[in-house]
Structure 1
């Protein structure tokens, strides 16, 4: 269906505490995600970053909406100058000495369909790259 969120599940060879730190600590985040200086996993914390493909860069405007320490982080995700608002949720589940991460990006259908950069397939591709090419090696590199 058109308004279904994109959902990814990955199991990482790292304990929950390590994964939580990776998704909430600004020093860790800049190594695999985006440079978010001063990021705080606190409800109401607002942050922004610029990203996109050259030559089109988008200013992302985000606000933390839910935090369950060690388990869940949700923030809004929208674009400056564009309609729509979506939500990104990271959920962590212990799996022995590993961690199952469930990432849900909901509300993609609120973005303008006239903008080919903001179609669902691009989010699928982007999150797949971030999780598999950036986060996985960051978490699983030798400590």
Structure 2
């Protein structure tokens, strides 16, 4: 059985602003991760580490799907710890002037071999915090 983390957040901002925050490396730094080699092009590979400068957890990602203002999907790997390839999908939709962000991080059971730092519970908590950061960043911009 594959294990997923699914989250939804409603943000009081236009879909254009949310999309830009999700896909612009300068904006990502404010609420997500600093990803110097980020590119939105299909098949582009980007890499980053967790904040704080310890560089313990290398993240390697490859862009799989881009539909502007709708879907951004990429792989999510930790090559130093596991051969598993997980997938992260961001889906956006608009309702009443707000943006609904749906996040799905799948195949997390594949990371079980990597140890306690990669438990589904940690991803669940991490994505909750990251979505709070995104909402706070966008709703406090103006």
Common fold: TM-score over 0.5: yes
Residue of structure 2 equivalent to 1:117 = 117
User: Does the alignment pair 1:140 with 2:132?
Assistant: no
Q: Distance in 1 between matches of 2:112 and 2:37?
A: 31
Cα displacement (A) at 1:83: 2.1
Q: How does 1:59-138 map to 2 (within 5 A)?
A: 59-81=58-80, 82-113=82-113, 115-132=115-132, 134-138=133-137
C-alpha deviations, 1:95-133, integer Å up to 9, x for none?
12100000000010111345000110000010011111x
The number of aligned residues is 141
Q: Does the 8 A contact of 2:39 with 2:46 survive in 1?
A: no
Q: Distance in 2 between matches of 1:8 and 1:32?
A: 17
Q: Does the 8 A contact of 1:58 with 1:80 survive in 2?
A: no
Q: Does the 8 A contact of 2:70 with 2:92 survive in 1?
A: yes
Change (3 A) 1:56 1:113: farther
Q: Does the 8 A contact of 2:37 with 2:47 survive in 1?
A: no
* Runs of 5+ unmatched residues, structure 1: none
Q: TM-score, normalised by structure 1?
A: 0.91
Partner of 1:138: helix, strand, or coil? helix
Q: Distance in 1 between matches of 2:17 and 2:114?
A: 40
Q: Does the 8 A contact of 2:90 with 2:104 survive in 1?
A: yes
Q: TM-score, normalised by structure 2?
A: 0.92
* Runs of 5+ unmatched residues, structure 2: none
Q: Does the 8 A contact of 2:49 with 2:55 survive in 1?
A: no
CA RMSD of aligned residues (A): 1.9
